[in-house]
Structure 1
């Protein structure tokens, strides 16, 4: 199956939780004809939220892929979660997408996770436009949200539509349609949005529409000399030229077009679909993908989105199944056929590609098996065995290793215990399956206690995992309360020299190293190892042995509570070798030097700090501030709008366990809260004392 690349769009829908992403996706499927009935989140019958946990909670947990046609374009769309506990789903989706639609609630505006997903899109240089949703809600304010997008996200939003009215039907001027500032026509909608009627702009709205159009044009004068020249001479600017300038500005990430509507009532979603067509990139609009040659790591390889190029693709998600795992891949170059062989350079393994499938939601699409697929596509593959999320698949004759996907470290863990030996084996297999599916999920077994520790991004993440173990896999296990995942670091620095000069199996071995250990705030996890030896002062294999030994020691725990190490830098500054030197001698010397330095550098306990965003009716503001103060929180910012206050604070995770219940109690169930990992900071001495051996 080959499509014209200029007609292909790989896009994602990203936003804060409850901004309306899944509802927007449902409307897009309905309007495109891919679906004959609009599913509703509250009813649990949406296409992309097909997991029982998603349907019960009314939220998206797993990214889902749907495909459909709109006018002359074909869209591969990924609907992503809004809850921060499942941010890895957003991370891996943005890694492989070409463009994104960012959804904002017209009532809540820019929220905590809005900032997170915007930063993620910045990191992957993803062009995007915005959809301001829920303009039919009480308290909706189109202009305020525009200002927040500009000021809080550092963006350059350019409205290409304006709303006709705002708020629900009982207000004086309810939301009832949109004005297209390019065509200068008013649009009203019926039949759940399927029918759109365009009429001249009413006289009472014309002046506001003309001012809004002029603002739009001023924003693109710098993007197009042709538009600016026509404006200066007073000539009419063709609509196609305006769209061309907006597209060029969007692809260069200089602007973000803004459309508006209410997805629940089908108002304005056609504008979103047209925005995908006109403003978001095709695979041809994105830079050629770059990687390294795994056989010559200093050589950069480039792949263009061309069927004649060698095949290259990235695995960005795996759905485990007893009949064969389904690997979601983005093809960057070349063609892929069923019953073929590819190469996984990250594992140095050949992989089988038994079947290719069109993906529908989180399943293989019925009658969607493909014979072959070309560049720019997102497709499901059955057959690989060794690749994991973030791995490259490529042509063995022209290998390339693409940049992988980095995921955040876990901050919370929970102990589980199987009821029997048989259950332990079953649990082990199940956890391995879940780790393949979710790269932010960790599981380790404590052989002394028999407990298994599972770690995740938050309480909700672990609760979803727990429910799957009990419900989907029918495991008989005891589940303990969640606990904080601490880290250990150092507050001092020290230089240590250790020597290995001994007999080993009757043979004299020798090696001496000098290490400098010091704190490093930039090292999020583990230990960073640097080599500062003069060139050619020691054989490379001995240097590598020292680095490997330090890295291995860094994977172990510290001396306070055997928690993982973080924020530590070790530099190899001296070494001595002679005719008796062996790799083993240098490994022993490096290990002893590392352990001595770690003991003497004032070990400290680090605790995870969360960025907390609380939205509460104004009358409960004082209660929340007082409660946060008792939880060692620092208030960063507060903002009140129409009787609703948003509180941004940084607080230790240990003080926020089960906070959702406290929040409901403080506000009589009327407040909302989200939190995301911010950093690790030194814990108070009284907390460190609990863990000292």
Structure 2
């Protein structure tokens, strides 16, 4: 504690009486959390999983056991309080996490920064940006549901940012809990080299505690809230299983760790320290996933999980973070490794990973990767080179802010009044041109027409849209001049529905959502050559440009992209006009002629052309490219593609036949199913266009017990009748049908 803090505390103590005891506690708590720990005593972790696996409940328990909160509340609490990390009223009502929330706490003298993320696929960008700035993660799996569709998505995201993780099998108290099946699924579906480091003592109602395989002991959780930990010998009934699973753990570790492998080959018995060090080494390399077990709701297994976070997950100094140096043209693309040591002499480098509008203005969440930042200092946005003075530095505990005077490498913090985008890099030296890898943002898959119910709410509507599109890059907004309507796009129906409800609650602007529009695409079926001459003469300088080449379809796995290739030789098409041709091609592909949707999966090969010494310009070649695409559209064979979703439905066994029949009706292809103890999971691929309204239908078919999740799989040609409907509707909207033309005449 600094001298100034000590004097301040002693002054408070002098004037102590019963009424200001809480003030002292609050101040000492602030001092405790504001203290900077050495780098090795910091952990930045995320808690990620499929929807309804118990992430928020687990975070609530972690905060309670670490002394961060005084009382635990349930996600769907009867006391109308709800979990700390679900600070939004909508989250508490629906019992789901919508926004990722950050907090920090202390466990065994280690600072742990935690980000609790949503599980629903519609809010996948929240998980994406959290994992981008974290050093480690806890992958929570439901002991009944096992590896589900969103678990696979989260796993891919962890792989993208090479985040080491621990697996925590939660909900051992649920009917049908089977952690052994979950580990098998982790190995088969996720290709994880996973093995138990803990086992349950009993399942479902009989769940009494857990068995530590490394230290060969039983752990029991006594007290009203499992806060008192008691260690004991392994019960006789479990000893054989402990020996067998411990041997399996050592075998899995030996396959990926040389040190332990040598001991295994020499038939030496590894010590507890040997095994723990091997688990840590292999977890950091992502070559092994330790599996822990417990039930957060029944307060079992949370404290050993916290111990494992400290023992096996990396501190910020053990993770290599890089940035691109763009000082000049020669240095562009040069990758430098950032120094995570808590050295205030190094220049500050931070990454903005999340934006949020609070009552005090825009709140920008940042992760400090190098150097130190103090209140009152200036920082620069590396993308725009704008200077910002830091007036307030805060650390977040859900939606509560706690002021700090400085932050160091490894810290997660927030700033006010910073105009930036998600993924911007900040430095404290304007000359330092650094850029960190940005955040992967998936493309929206569902679009809906939106309008305020009352015209007088248009101002509030504009404010809400401006805020939400800035906060969430997957929520997009545009005006469609052809249909004369405003369109919002997002990751799913729930995503758009939540934003519509937030507009009403937070901006007093009730809105109407129209029928969702699916992001169809248009593509070619076979190659088609073009030779187009654009010529215009109307006195003075004219326009002259000729383009020749071939447009051809890309292979199915690339059917969402566009490619432009310049194959010209010689000077028939001067090189300075080629960008104009590319722009013309890309611009025309924004709206296809078949159904008005984007064109994709097409390669434009420019092979030759001609120019005029006076009349040729970039604009002329831009218009020639547009004409060439129109020519290919008239001559070539085109088809419409639609997004196919990977759908996973979990339901009681007795409804299996009904649900399969309904999926077939919706044009789905069943790719597999698996059943366990009265429950079935059906895997299918269904066109997104056929999935609207499925949530309500599934509930009514399964008496409210069924649930489903879906995520984008690929684009595939749609059925002829769907294509015909889309073409007819587009012609109707454009007034191109024969009967419409007659009326006009």
SS of residue paired to 2:44: strand
Aligned counterpart, 1:572: 606
What aligned pairs does 1:647-666 form with structure 2 within 5 A after superposition?
A: 647-666=682-701
Distance change >3 Å, CA 491–CA 351, structure 1 → 2: farther
What aligned pairs does 1:397-408 form with structure 2 within 5 A after superposition?
A: 397-408=431-442
Tell whether the 8 Å contact from 2:500 to 2:510 is kept in structure 1 after alignment.
no
Residue 120 of structure 1: how far off its partner (Å): 1.6
Cα distance in 1 between the residues matched to 2:612 and 2:389: 48
Structure 1, unaligned stretches of length 5 or more? 169-173
Matched, 1:391 2:428: no
Provide, for residues 2-37 of structure 1, a one-character-per-residue CA deviation record: whole Å limited to 9, x for no partner: 542222211111111111111111111111111111
Residue 225 of structure 1: how far off its partner (Å): 4.2
130, 148, 151: which one aligns with 1:114? 151
Residue 255 of structure 1: how far off its partner (Å): 0.4
Matched, 1:672 2:707: yes
Aligned counterpart, 1:171: none
Stretch deviating more after TM superposition (261-270 or 669-678): 669-678
Provide, for residues 595-628 of structure 1, a one-character-per-residue CA deviation record: whole Å limited to 9, x for no partner: 3334443332222211111112212111111111
What aligned pairs does 1:52-201 form with structure 2 within 5 A after superposition?
A: 52-168=89-205, 174-191=206-223, 192-201=225-234
Residue 266 of structure 1: how far off its partner (Å): 1.2
Cα distance in 2 between the residues matched to 1:352 and 1:691: 53
Aligned counterpart, 2:240: 207
Residue 80 of structure 1: how far off its partner (Å): 0.8
Cα distance in 2 between the residues matched to 1:530 and 1:633: 37
Structure 2, unaligned stretches of length 5 or more? 1-34, 732-745
Tell whether the 8 Å contact from 1:559 to 1:603 is kept in structure 2 after alignment.
no
Distance change >3 Å, CA 114–CA 399, structure 1 → 2: same
Distance change >3 Å, CA 331–CA 681, structure 1 → 2: same
Stretch deviating more after TM superposition (219-228 or 531-540): 531-540
Residue 640 of structure 1: how far off its partner (Å): 1.2
Aligned counterpart, 2:16: none
Stretch deviating more after TM superposition (420-429 or 632-641): 420-429
Provide, for residues 256-291 of structure 1, a one-character-per-residue CA deviation record: whole Å limited to 9, x for no partner: 001101111111111211111111112222223132
Aligned counterpart, 1:451: 485
565, 568, 571: which one aligns with 1:530? 565
Cα distance in 2 between the residues matched to 1:667 and 1:472: 35
Residue 246 of structure 1: how far off its partner (Å): 0.6
Provide, for residues 429-469 of structure 1, a one-character-per-residue CA deviation record: whole Å limited to 9, x for no partner: 22111101111111112346553111211111111111112
281, 285, 290: which one aligns with 1:252? 285
Residue 539 of structure 1: how far off its partner (Å): 5.7
SS of residue paired to 2:649: strand
Cα distance in 2 between the residues matched to 1:345 and 1:489: 39
SS of residue paired to 2:598: coil
Aligned counterpart, 1:320: 357
Tell whether the 8 Å contact from 1:320 to 1:436 is kept in structure 2 after alignment.
no
Provide, for residues 533-590 of structure 1, a one-character-per-residue CA deviation record: whole Å limited to 9, x for no partner: 4599866543333333333333x21113322333233233335456434322222222
Tell whether the 8 Å contact from 1:128 to 1:280 is kept in structure 2 after alignment.
yes
689, 709, 724: which one aligns with 1:689? 724
What aligned pairs does 1:243-322 form with structure 2 within 5 A after superposition?
A: 243-293=276-326, 295-296=328-329, 298-304=332-338, 305-306=340-341, 307=343, 308-321=345-358
Tell whether the 8 Å contact from 1:92 to 1:317 is kept in structure 2 after alignment.
yes
Aligned counterpart, 2:270: 237
What aligned pairs does 1:10-89 form with structure 2 within 5 A after superposition?
A: 10-43=44-77, 44-89=81-126
Tell whether the 8 Å contact from 1:490 to 1:602 is kept in structure 2 after alignment.
yes
Matched, 1:416 2:450: yes
Residue 229 of structure 1: how far off its partner (Å): 4.5
481, 488, 496: which one aligns with 1:462? 496
Tell whether the 8 Å contact from 1:303 to 1:309 is kept in structure 2 after alignment.
no
Stretch deviating more after TM superposition (302-311 or 271-280): 302-311
Cα distance in 1 between the residues matched to 2:188 and 2:596: 43
Stretch deviating more after TM superposition (668-677 or 435-444): 668-677
Alignment: residue pair count: 683
Stretch deviating more after TM superposition (286-295 or 396-405): 286-295
Task: Give TM-score scaled by structure 2 length.
Answer: 0.87
Matched, 1:471 2:493: no
SS of residue paired to 2:123: helix
SS of residue paired to 2:563: strand
Tell whether the 8 Å contact from 1:303 to 1:312 is kept in structure 2 after alignment.
no
Residue 377 of structure 1: how far off its partner (Å): 2.0
Distance change >3 Å, CA 425–CA 451, structure 1 → 2: farther
Provide, for residues 443-496 of structure 1, a one-character-per-residue CA deviation record: whole Å limited to 9, x for no partner: 112346553111211111111111112222111433323343322222232232
Stretch deviating more after TM superposition (220-229 or 135-144): 220-229
Provide, for residues 174-198 of structure 1, a one-character-per-residue CA deviation record: whole Å limited to 9, x for no partner: 1111111111111000232211100
Cα distance in 1 between the residues matched to 2:576 and 2:327: 20
588, 602, 611: which one aligns with 2:646? 611
What is the root-mean-square deviation of aligned Cα atoms in Å?
Answer: 2.4
Tell whether the 8 Å contact from 1:189 to 1:196 is kept in structure 2 after alignment.
yes
Residue 236 of structure 1: how far off its partner (Å): 5.0
Tell whether the 8 Å contact from 2:500 to 2:511 is kept in structure 1 after alignment.
no
Q: Pick the structure with greater CA Rg.
A: 2
Cα distance in 2 between the residues matched to 1:595 and 1:636: 39
SS of residue paired to 2:145: coil
Distance change >3 Å, CA 292–CA 511, structure 1 → 2: farther
SS of residue paired to 2:204: coil
What aligned pairs does 1:488-527 form with structure 2 within 5 A after superposition?
A: 488-503=522-537, 506-520=540-554, 521-523=556-558, 525=560, 527=562
Distance change >3 Å, CA 477–CA 460, structure 1 → 2: closer
Distance change >3 Å, CA 578–CA 332, structure 1 → 2: farther
Stretch deviating more after TM superposition (448-457 or 644-653): 448-457
Residue 133 of structure 1: how far off its partner (Å): 0.8
Provide, for residues 41-96 of structure 1, a one-character-per-residue CA deviation record: whole Å limited to 9, x for no partner: 12152111111111111011111111111113211111111111111111111122
Distance change >3 Å, CA 4–CA 600, structure 1 → 2: farther
Distance change >3 Å, CA 342–CA 536, structure 1 → 2: farther
SS of residue paired to 1:77: strand
